Structure formats: C-alpha cells, structure tokens
Amino acid sequence: MSYAYFLELVETGNNNDRFARWKDGKKDVVGNPCAPLALLFLVALRHLGRAWTSDDLEESTVISEEVIRCFFHKFIQFGSSTLCQQYVNPPLDLFTARAQEHKFRLAGLPGCVGSMDAAHVAIEKCSFRLRQADLAQKLPYTARTYNLVVNHRQRILSTTNGHPARWNDKSLVKFDQFAMASINFLNAK
C-alpha cells in the first residue's frame, strides 16, 4: 500500500463515526491522549497482512491489547461496509464486463470476467459452540471462509460474507450474489 493511499484510508476513517473514540484530540478516562488513529490503522493492517498477534502489536506500539482488540473489530466493520462498497465493484453492464474479459480472452478464456475461489481467514479465538462449524477438513485451525471473484490484476470484483470453514466451494457459491447473478444471466440467454 502506498503512503498516499494509507493517508487517504486514515482520512476516510477519521471522517467515519465508527472511530469517534480514537479521533485526534480525544482522551481516555484518566485524561491521557488516545492512541493516534493512523497508528491504529497500521496496527490493523499489520494484523491482517502479516498475521501479527495482539501481543506482538502491543509490544511494538505500546498500545494495549484491549484497545487493539476493540479497534480491530471496528476496523473490520469499516472494511466490510465502507471500504467494500467503495472498492469492490462487480461489472454491472456488458461494457464493463467486456473490459474485464479482455485479458482472459487473450489467455484463451472468452466470456470469463474473473477467477473465483474460496479464501480462509483464521480465527484465533473461536467460541466452543462454533468450533465444529469453523473447523475445515483441510485446515488445522478454525477459520471463516469467503468466496472471492478477482480480475486478472487481482482486484476484488465480488466477495461473500464469512461462512463456516467447513462449507465447500459448491455451498459457498450459492451465497455469492455476483456468481448467482452471472448464472442467471447466462441461463436467460
């Protein structure tokens, strides 16, 4: 991620009420200044991108694990709503679909607008009652599974909400609105 894009991301977060508790100038209950929002965004990105634990993040930033945990939950909500709406855009018309299809056509896949697969995101602390559903047969850990469609440049065109890791691709595709709309479009022809 470029620094300019990071600053844009922090500015978007600064204008979002979800992060009101960490905005610049806010103080905690004993009067100490809150951790800077930019640093908290870096913490969340490091956790997602490099799988650093909360303990590692606390040691490197001197922000408590509890603050990191609370912020990360808000960050995930922010990503799945605000950022997803802003950056995840499936082709909605034939012209846009044709633009996505061009590179696939050159590779010998005419009509293809994206590649689809499931991605597993590990869950460090899964509640016991959900453990069986979130244990995948191929993974040694609990996880949530997301069905993603990406173009040839690895830009996400569509994603589902998280589902139990035990579900296979055939089950996940039924909850993928982009894939189901594509199938319905092809069946209508």
In this prediction, residues 157-172 reach a mean pLDDT of: 83
In this prediction, residues 38-58 reach a mean pLDDT of: 90
CB atoms < 10 A from the CB of 161, how many?
10
Residue with tokens 């960050």: 75
Q: Identify whether residues 70 and 152 lie together within a single domain.
A: no
How high is the pLDDT of residue 88?
A: 77
End-of-domain residue from the set 56, 86, 116? 86
The total of structural domains in the chain comes to: 2
Q: Identify whether residues 107 and 181 lie together within a single domain.
A: yes
16 and 78 Cβ atoms separated by less than 8 Å = yes
End-of-domain residue from the set 86, 114, 144? 86
Q: Identify whether residues 119 and 75 lie together within a single domain.
A: no
How high is the pLDDT of residue 140?
A: 78
CB atoms < 10 A from the CB of 126, how many?
18
How high is the pLDDT of residue 44?
A: 93
Tens of pLDDT along 72-109?
989 988 988 888 888 777 777 777 778 888 888 888 88
165 and 136 Cβ atoms separated by less than 8 Å = yes
The pairing of strands 143-150 and 115-122 is antiparallel
- Report CA 4 to chain centroid distance, whole Å: 20
- Residue 4 banded pLDDT, cuts 50, 70, 90: very high
End-of-domain residue from the set 47, 63, 86? 86
167 and 145 Cβ atoms separated by less than 8 Å = yes
Tens of pLDDT along 27-41?
877 888 888 899 999
Q: Identify whether residues 147 and 174 lie together within a single domain.
A: yes
CA distances from 117 to 1, 62, 148 (A): 23, 38, 6
All residues at 6 or more sequence positions from 145 whose CB lies less than 8 Å from its CB, including other chains: 118, 119, 120, 121, 136, 162, 163, 164, 165, 167, 172
Sequential DSSP letters for 57-73: HHHHH---HHHHHHHHH
Residues 96, 117: Cα–Cα separation, whole Å: 21
Q: Identify whether residues 54 and 96 lie together within a single domain.
A: no
Nearest alpha-carbon partner for 113 in 161, 170, 172, 181: 181
Q: Identify whether residues 50 and 94 lie together within a single domain.
A: no
Q: Identify whether residues 119 and 160 lie together within a single domain.
A: yes
Q: Identify whether residues 8 and 70 lie together within a single domain.
A: yes
Q: Identify whether residues 81 and 126 lie together within a single domain.
A: no
Q: Identify whether residues 119 and 36 lie together within a single domain.
A: no
Sequential DSSP letters for 161-189: PPEETT--HHHHGGG-HHHHHHHHHHHH-
Query: Of all helices (H) and strands (E), which one includes residue 159?
Result: strand 156-159
Q: Decide if pLDDT at 54 tops 90.
A: no
